[in-house]
Chains A and B, each alone.
Chain A
Amino acid sequence: GENVEQHPSTLSVQEGDSAVIKCTYSDSASNYFPWYKQELGKGPQLIIDIRSNVGEKKDQRIAVTLNKTAKHFSLHITETQPEDSAVYFCAASIDGTASKLTFGTGTRLQVTL
């Protein structure tokens, strides 16, 4: 089955700096890659996603890039703010409706003042 690896496990940045989280996947058939943000005591929430026919997608301060050849994708957060502090999960799916998601192990992002 699919295996998703995520790095780093923890990341500390100063407010205003950029943060990058990287994931690799094993199944070349994977075609959908969402990113979820989980705040303390809450369930994960989708923040951005990308499909296999797109190389990059941006939404304000958040961007995701996908390299299908290398089977890796990354989350980029620019101009980080304290409210960006959370655990971020990448995921991959091979089915047509993104029903079966395989998640990475998570990255705890801490944005310091």
Chain B
Amino acid sequence: DAGVIQSPRHEVTEMGQEVTLRCKPISGHNSLFWYRQTMMRGLELLIYFNNNVPIDDSGMPEDRFSAKMPNASFSTLKIQPSEPRDSAVYFCASSSAGAGIYNEQFFGPGTRLTVL
């Protein structure tokens, strides 16, 4: 298995531009997570989906952030408009969730976003 795939690996954009990060979870996994990692705040859960449905988006910082999962094999995280404070590494992770089972989350390699 190729693991969780994220694209692009690096993104440099200017303030005010729209940014779209993409994720392909591991085949067969039914839960997908978006995290943001910064030096100041560490690793934060932004949103997670179960069976393509958003379950908890309480970590999404502002309305400028939105996430979608149109099907089981693809998800996007969009920032519009982007700001310099959005600069971070964004990770996507997936797992095969089941009731009462502690399920390992498999992380992708991340997208390093720089907003100038």
Interface residues of A (CB under 8 A from B): 32, 34, 36, 41-46, 49, 51, 89, 93, 96-106
Contact = CB atoms under 8 A, between A and B. Distances in A.
A29 B44 CA distance: 20
A44 B107 CA distance: 6
Q: Is the interface of B mostly helix, strand, loop or mixed?
A: strand
Interface stretch (B13-21, B48-56, B63-71, B77-85): B48-56
Given A43-B91, A105-B42, A49 B102 contact: yes
Contacts of B1: none
Contact of A32 (B55, B98, B102, B109): B102
Interface in B78-107: 91, 93, 95, 97-105, 107
Interface string B4-42: 100000000000000000000000000101000000001
The bracket for how many chain B residues form the interface is 20 to 34
Contacts of B115: none
Contacts of A49: 102, 104
30 contacts: A32-B102, A34-B102, A34-B104, A42-B109, A43-B4, A43-B91, A43-B93, A43-B107, A43-B108, A43-B109, A44-B107, A46-B104, A46-B105, A49-B102, A49-B104, A89-B42, A93-B102, A96-B99, A96-B100, A97-B98, A97-B101, A98-B105, A99-B95, A99-B97, A100-B48, A100-B56, A102-B45, A103-B42, A103-B43, A105-B42
Contacts of B50: 99
A97 B97 contact: yes
Contacts of A43: 4, 91, 93, 107-110
